[in-house]
Amino acid sequence: MNKNEEQAAFTKLGELNQRRQEEINAAAATDLPKTYPMNELVKALHPATQYLKVTEIIDHGPDAKSFVFAPDKDKGTTKLATFQPGQYISLRLHIGDSYVTRPYAIRSTPLQAKEGKYVLTMKLVNGGFVTPYIWKNWQVGTTVAASGPAGELFYEPLRDGKNIVAIAGGSGITPFYSMAQAILENTLDVNLTILYGSRRHDNILLGDELQGIAEQTNRVKLVNVLSDEEVPGFEHGFISKDLIEKYAPAADYSIFISGPSVMYQFVMKEVAQLHLAPGRVRHELNGNTAAPDQFAGYPAEAKGKTFSMTVITRDQSKTIPAAANESLLIALERAGIIAPSMCRSGICSACRSQVLDGHTFTPTEFDHRRAADREFGYVNTCVAYPTSDLTLKVPVHDYANQFG
Amino acid sequence: MAKNYDVIVVGAGNGGLVAAATACKLGKKTLLIERHNLPGGAASSFVRGRFEFETALHELAAYGPKEKPQGIRQMFNWLGVDLAMHEIPGAYRYIITGKDGFDVALPNGREAVIDKIEEVVPGSRAGVSKLFDYGEECIKGYDLLQAGKLLQEVAKLAPAFVKYATVPYDQVLAELNIPLKARQILEAYWCYIGIPSDTFEFPYFAEMLVTYVENGAYAPTNRSHEITTALVHAIQANGGDVWFNTEVKRVLTQDGQAVGVQVGNDQIYGRQVICDLVPNTVYAKMIDPAVVPEHTLKLTNARQLGTSGYLVYLGLNKSPEELGIKDYSVFISSTGDSRTQYERMNTLDQNDFMIMNCLNIAVPGCSPAGTSLLYATQLYRDGSWDQVTAENYDEVKDKIARRVIKQYEDATGIKISDAVEEVAIATPETFARYMRTPNGDIYGYYGKKWGQTIARMANLDKEAQPIPHLYFCGGSSFMMDGYSSAYFTGFTIGKMACAALDKEGVKNE
């Protein structure tokens, strides 16, 4: 570069800066936008919190109820987020001194959500913590906070075949009920075969309603499987490989499973014999156990003990008991700490916390952590069990009131 | 309760993580606050089934091998972050499917690239060699500027940097008599910054090209989440605090100066506040408007938000060998003209510039045996998704995914759509959701002619503290977007804030 070139380059650089100053001087000094279309779309599609109000309670026999919700406009929720049939919302409840979450698959459809209606169907768990509280306290007008829709148990056109074989037990039917009704409403383009396990023919949760849907569309087939009795017109026994093959379409299909742990453990063994391509078997919400010692790799000496857990939340710390057979999350909830959580089955990682000291056990079946989280000592508290005294750093939420 | 800090960093993106790590490494009492429950912003990962997907990283530049560490590796070494990184084989494959199209796979290494381009476009050698000479000078030029050297000195030691400082990249390539086709091949990296080659300032593009080709690029073993988690640990190891799930509502000011932040009902005081946020967010919602100088407000209004991204993450139930995938990074478009590619980024239906990455090629074992982990990326300019609603969101998202997958299959002849085991899609809405940036911006500010690295760096001293004790780092800071740039801004701004504290300390003694 000769002197002239150098001089010319410096002049250009001066001009560039001059131009910058001119552009700035010419710009408006008006206030900047507070929001943008994509950020508004987030509020509609993925709200962090939805405030709901019970508008109707439907009894299904002695031990099941449906709760119909509308948006709680007093708390600022004006619309309900749409969702994929099969997804859940996680309710946030304040019971006694505890703040707990419970995920429930939405039993209603996206079309109903658009009209301001979610329906959740629950089974009473005797001796449980949450459902007895709900049975006792909830009435029309009760308000509750919930997460936005979440979960991965839904039909994904880029991945799944057009045929879904749904295997359900008990209240695990709810995601498939939503799918069935969405098919009827023409918002879900799949063929659904539901293999539905119940104990007795007179105790099938939402059985009549499902039958009603199946009678209106040939894209939904319902097969009731009774474990405790033999009744003409119903299958008998458990949902086995043979039974799946009997009803599954000949063409390419995916299996979706939703139900209690016991059923899941059984069904998975049967499904394995079908040798479907990986990814063609999907399940969700099975991550809770009160017997971590039943899983491979559990350190036997920890069984039956209660450990001391020091919990660090931002700049506070507190020491609480943590029983070996309960998840870290339950220990936090028992101690009244507002710990984050959502799916409670080790998948969503909302409860991700840092173990600073001590040991925990996560059953391999429920361990969906990121590799680096395993490497650096983070756990999902909902599926991690204490196996020694420990120190846990929990990222408690500060914003909104997570619990309404 | 400890509520006084030397340095408070708001936002744990790549810039904020390094700013906080730098401040506590320099002995300052440091607090890093992040609204989300994970570090990294866009630099993250997520698990679906048997796969852990990379959210954002394509290639980490300026890292270099252990025996010849480049800037980022030196910085990480200093911070105590030591990760097993994988060198990415080859630079990129670029397929133009339209008229005058080409399909070229560029290797790594200066001479190999020059040979390859000469082979594909005879008559390119002299020009491309010169381009690499210039690029090497430009690397030196940036280093000199960062070291505080004056332009006169830079002009002597790295003349190409000064000579072409204000000239667009494509124009220099034309002046070097590089044939059009070779120019287009050498312009593919425009997408990493989002400025078409007829506007992209030469020194930065040339620096980027040569850095990638000569020093190679890297990827971590366990996705970006491993880097960000390691940075969190570096902060903690040096006595810093990191709070997740914590939203800073306000930047507190007193007498026109930043003095801390508000979290919930708590006020936390900090002598320096560094925000890894888009400044628009701070000025619009987080600070007393009366303390924002008119010049700052005008500058912010004069700028244009950068692009957002659209990604399809694919976990495939076949190995790369079974599928026939050999390349880590494939750029595909129907046209090789970056201006046209850029203009089409404004539309949902015409945008046909895409990148497909297969992580297994760079990081073997990143997914289980017999599977592959792919992700397709498109960029969309600010505003191009504004008409998408809650009602048509799924439809738009799926339609683009199908188009992108088909475009890849058609261009490469590799069939992937029948091997999908897991799939997830990120859109501008997704980035807005997890990062809360305006309109899901992932590239900071668009680089207008007067607002690219040289103009930004030249005004750094003047603009680094728009309000006394308030700084910005990350993609909207004094460099452009990208991991290395964000790390550098965090490092530089972190040091700057600490130096100011040291100076004040001396004054007070």
In a mutational test of the B interface, the residue from A40, A370, A380 whose CB has the highest number of chain B CBs within 10 Å is: A370
Q: Summarize pLDDT for B260-303 with one digit per residue, the tens.
A: 999 988 999 999 999 999 999 999 999 999 999 999 999 999 99
b/e B457-490 (16+ beta carbons within 10 angstroms → b): ebbbeebbbbbebbbbbbbbbbbbbbbbbbbbbb
Do A38 and B263 count as a contact with CB atoms less than 8 A apart?
no
Whether B470 and B288 have beta carbons less than 8 Å apart is answered as no
Q: Summarize pLDDT for A383-392 with one digit per residue, the tens.
A: 999 999 999 9
CA atoms within 13 A on the CB side of B285: 14
H/E stretch holding A136: helix A131-137
Give the distance from residue B99's alpha carbon to the nearest chain A alpha carbon, in angstroms.
30
Residues 6+ apart with CB under 8 A from B211: B61, B62, B70, B139
All residues of chain B having their beta carbon less than 8 Å from the beta carbon of residue A372 are 45, 222-223, 225-226, 229-230
Q: At what angle do helices B294-302 and A3-26 cross, to 10 degrees?
A: 100
Give the distance from residue A217's alpha carbon to the nearest chain B alpha carbon, in angstroms.
24
Structure tokens at A246: 């009997």
In this prediction, residue B98 carries a pLDDT of 87
Tell me the three state secondary structure of residue B150: coil
Bridge partners, residue A123, by sequence: A64
Do B49 and A279 count as a contact with CB atoms less than 8 A apart?
yes
Mean pLDDT of chain A: 94
In a mutational test of the B interface, the residue from A314, A332, A353 whose CB has the highest number of chain B CBs within 10 Å is: A314
Structure tokens at A231: 């009744």
CA atoms within 13 A on the CB side of A54: 19
* Ordered structural domains, chain A, with CATH: 41-146 (2.40.30.10), 163-283 (3.40.50.80), 292-393 (3.10.20.30)
Give the distance from residue B299's alpha carbon to the nearest chain A alpha carbon, in angstroms.
5
Using CB atoms, which residue from A38, A82, A347 is nearest to B439? Answer: A38
Tell me the three state secondary structure of residue B82: coil
In this prediction, residue B509 carries a pLDDT of 46
In a mutational test of the B interface, the residue from A38, A338, A355, A396 whose CB has the highest number of chain B CBs within 10 Å is: A38
In this prediction, residue B45 carries a pLDDT of 98
Q: Summarize pLDDT for A322-355 with one digit per residue, the tens.
A: 999 999 999 999 999 999 999 999 999 999 999 9
Using CB atoms, which residue from A32, A42, A373 is nearest to B283? Answer: A32
Low-confidence ranges of chain B (pLDDT < 70): 1-2, 506-509
Q: Residue A403 — pLDDT band, cuts 50, 70, 90? A: low
What CA–CA distance (Å, rounded) separates B437 from B441? 6
A20 has pLDDT over 80: yes
> Of the candidates B428, B438, B462, B431, which has an alpha carbon nearest to the alpha carbon of residue B286?
B438
* Ordered structural domains, chain B, with CATH: 4-44+221-304+446-508 (3.50.50.60), 108-215 (no CATH), 307-435 (no CATH)
The DSSP line for B159-171 is HHHHHTTTSBHHH
> Of the candidates B165, B190, B192, which has an alpha carbon nearest to the alpha carbon of residue B57?
B192
What CA–CA distance (Å, rounded) separates B329 from B94? 9
DSSP state for residue B9 in the 8-state scheme: E
Do B436 and A39 count as a contact with CB atoms less than 8 A apart?
yes
Closest Cα in chain B to A13: B166
Do A38 and B432 count as a contact with CB atoms less than 8 A apart?
yes
What CA–CA distance (Å, rounded) separates A44 from B392? 12
Interface predicted TM-score (ipTM) = 0.96
All residues of chain A having their beta carbon less than 8 Å from the beta carbon of residue B315 are 279
DSSP state for residue B283 in the 8-state scheme: I
All residues of chain A having their beta carbon less than 8 Å from the beta carbon of residue B150 are none
The DSSP line for A54-115 is EEEEEE-STTEEEEEEEE-GGGT--SPPP--TT-EEEEEEEETTEEEEEEEE--S-HHHHHT
Do A158 and B402 count as a contact with CB atoms less than 8 A apart?
yes
What CA–CA distance (Å, rounded) separates B57 from B227? 11
